[in-house]
Structure 1
Amino acid sequence: MDWLALADFNLVARHGGVGRAARAAGRPKATLSRRVAELEASLGLRLFERGGRTLRLTQEGRTLHERTSALLTELDETAAGIASGGSTPRGLLRVSAPLLFSQIAMGRLAAEFALKYPDVRLEVTTEDRAVDMVEEGYDLVIRVNPHPDETLVGRAFMRDRLVVVASPHLVRPADGLAVPAVVRGTGSGTEAWRVASATGRSTLMVDPVLGLSSMIMVRDAVRTGVGVARLPVSLVSHDLAAGRLAHWGDVDGPEIHLWTLYPSRRLLSARVSAFLEHLKAAFPTGEPHELAAFIGA
């Protein structure tokens, strides 16, 4: 098999078209088109569906791309590692992180990493959805309580928990009466929140009066006294300590775990290893108070 043609095929597949691939790589479109055509001829397979101005991978093309793109990346990284002494992080590192963690921590984390490793070009994208790492070209993703995936490996680096908080001026209602609530997303009618406190477990009836798209917005709104909210303790620790918010109890449910994930079939590159160690250094124990302190700093 022509490895150069295979590399050009993956370049076109990754960018979704010959024109975009040519612009990204600074290569002639005619050369890329010819390389892909030669690969199709040698394999006796059609790898792209061609129509109008778009290219779409066939089933065979998708399978070839998924199984060879990581291998070619490993070969490039191995060659670059040998040339540079093998241990210096360098090159492009693409990370996908959830919205809240990005808003409260990734700006500073990314800047500190960039200062420490100037040969790495770090790109962080905020995504709450489960991205396809291979198809979308990510080296590492950070996810909240991810579903098991046999194609990915990783580890939890941070724990957190949800607490019910409100303005100190908001009076807790008698049992059975609903209290106004601020929720992430949309609320539909009265809800029952299970709350655990020092006195035991109870049910808090809430009436969502405000739906917002981010936890930061929910926190800012609940400070005004408009209603109660369920928020990560790391996000509201400073407000609780300063008396701006009151703690009504912990949400009776599983903890929040933040995971770093990467494809199991890829060798761990020096830049991914460096970023994992960077997270470990920032949050040595992974306890909520460490994230709270990081936010406060």
Structure 2
Amino acid sequence: MDLIALADFNLVARHGGFGRAARAAGRPKATLSRRVAELESSLDLRLFERGARALKLTQEGRALYERTGALLIELDEAATAIASGGDKPRGKLRISAPLLFSQIAMGNLAAKFALKYPEVRLEITTEDRTVDMIEEGYDVVIRVNPDPDESLVGRIFLRDRLVVVASPHLQRPTDGSRVPAVVRGTANQTGAWEVTSPSGRSPSGRSRIAIDPVLHLSSLIMVRDAVRAGVGAGRLPVSLVSRDLAAGALAHWGDGVGPDIELWTLYPSRRLLSARVSAFLDYLKEAFPKGTPDELASYIGG
């Protein structure tokens, strides 16, 4: 198989079209089209469906892209490492991270990582949606409690938990009446929050807080700020409010019942990781050696 033609096929697949691939690589569009056509002819397979306005991978094309893309990257990095006399992290590192973690930690993390590895060009996209790492060209994805994915491997690097908090001036009802609440999202949330007592998390210490949502906000940072202002109680990650709790600016009404919040790093399932991905994973381990909410809270400014 012609490795140059295979590399050109991967380039076109990654950028989603001959024109975009040509502009990104600074190469003639006609050359890329010819190389891909030659690869299709040698394999006797159609790799792309060519519409009037769009280019789409066939089932066979997607399988070839998923199985060869990572290998070509490793070959390129191995050649670069040998030529430079070492395996020093370099090149572009694309990361997708969730909104809240990006807002409270990624700026600081990214800056320190860039200072430590100046030859790595870090590119971070903030989004909570599920991304296709291969198709969208991400090297690492950070997600909260991700669903299992056989095509990816990963590790937990942080744990957090939910707590119910409120302004010290807002009294927690003792008669079961509803308390004003600030919630994330626009769904019509009613009912109650189940919590354990602040002094312990055993099942015997559970209670319920009936809520009346008075504010629906799209960001947990917005929820925290509204709770600080005394509008209502909120259910928030402890890392986001630990400083306020320590300073007495917020009162702790109880710990949320349910599984902990787990932050994972996910990356394509392959035996050899690039030097830049390995460096970033090791850096997260250095930044959060215990993976506790307190370590995450230290990255929150103000």
2:104–2:301 Cα contact (<8 Å) kept: no
| Contact persistence 1:238–1:296 (CA under 8 A) | no
How big is each residue's C-alpha offset from its partner over 1:241-267, in whole Å with a ceiling of 9 and x where there is no partner?
122211101001111111111112251
Deviation at 1:2, TM superposition (A): 1.0
**Residue aligning to 1:79:** 79
Aligned to 1:168, the other structure's residue is in SS state: coil
- Are the structure 2 counterparts of residues 40 and 189 from structure 1 closer, same or farther at C-alpha, using a change threshold of 3 Å? closer
Q: State the 1:170 CA deviation.
A: 0.9
Cα offset, 1:23, TM superposition? 0.5
Give the structure 1 partner of residue 2 of structure 2. 2
Q: Deviations over 1:2-58 (max 9, x none)?
A: 111111011001101000000001111110111111111111111111122321111
Aligned to 1:142: 142
Match of 1:268 among 269, 273, 282: 273
Aligned AA (1:71): L
Q: 2:239 aligned with 1:239, yes or no?
A: no
CA distance in structure 2 between the partners assigned to 1:171 and 1:49 by the alignment: 63
Distance 1:192 1:294, change over 3 A: same
Q: Deviations over 1:174-223 (max 9, x none)?
A: 33211111111124252211010137110111111211111111111111
What TM-score do the two structures reach when normalised by structure 2? 0.95
> Match for residue 120 of structure 2?
120
Higher mean C-alpha displacement, 10-19 vs 285-294: 285-294
Give the match's secondary structure for 1:225: coil
1:50-85 Cα distance to aligned partner (Å, 9 max, x none): 122321111111111111111111111111121222
**Residue aligning to 1:182:** 182
What per-residue deviation string (whole Å, max 9, x for no partner) do you get for residues 117-141 of structure 1? 1111011111212211111111111
- TM-score w.r.t. length of structure 1: 0.96
- What displacement does 1:289 show? 0.8
The unaligned stretches of length 5 or more in structure 1 are none
Moved more, 76-85 or 225-234: 76-85
The equivalent position to 2:298 in structure 1, one of 259, 270, 293, is 293
> How far apart in 2 are the matches of 1:140 and 1:218?
28
* Misfit runs of 4+, over 4 Å: none
Cα separation, 1, equivalents of 2:78 and 2:115: 24
SS in 1 for 2:300: helix
Contact 1:175/1:204 (<8 A) preserved: no
Contact 1:70 1:266 in 2 (8 A): no
Q: Contact 1:74 / 1:266 at 8 angstroms: preserved in 2?
A: no
Q: Distance in 2 between matches of 1:245 and 1:239?
A: 5
Q: Percent of pairs identical after alignment?
A: 78
CA contact (8 A) 2:120 2:276 kept: yes
Deviation for aligned residue 1:160: 0.8
Q: Contact 1:162–1:233 at 8 Å: present in 2 too?
A: yes
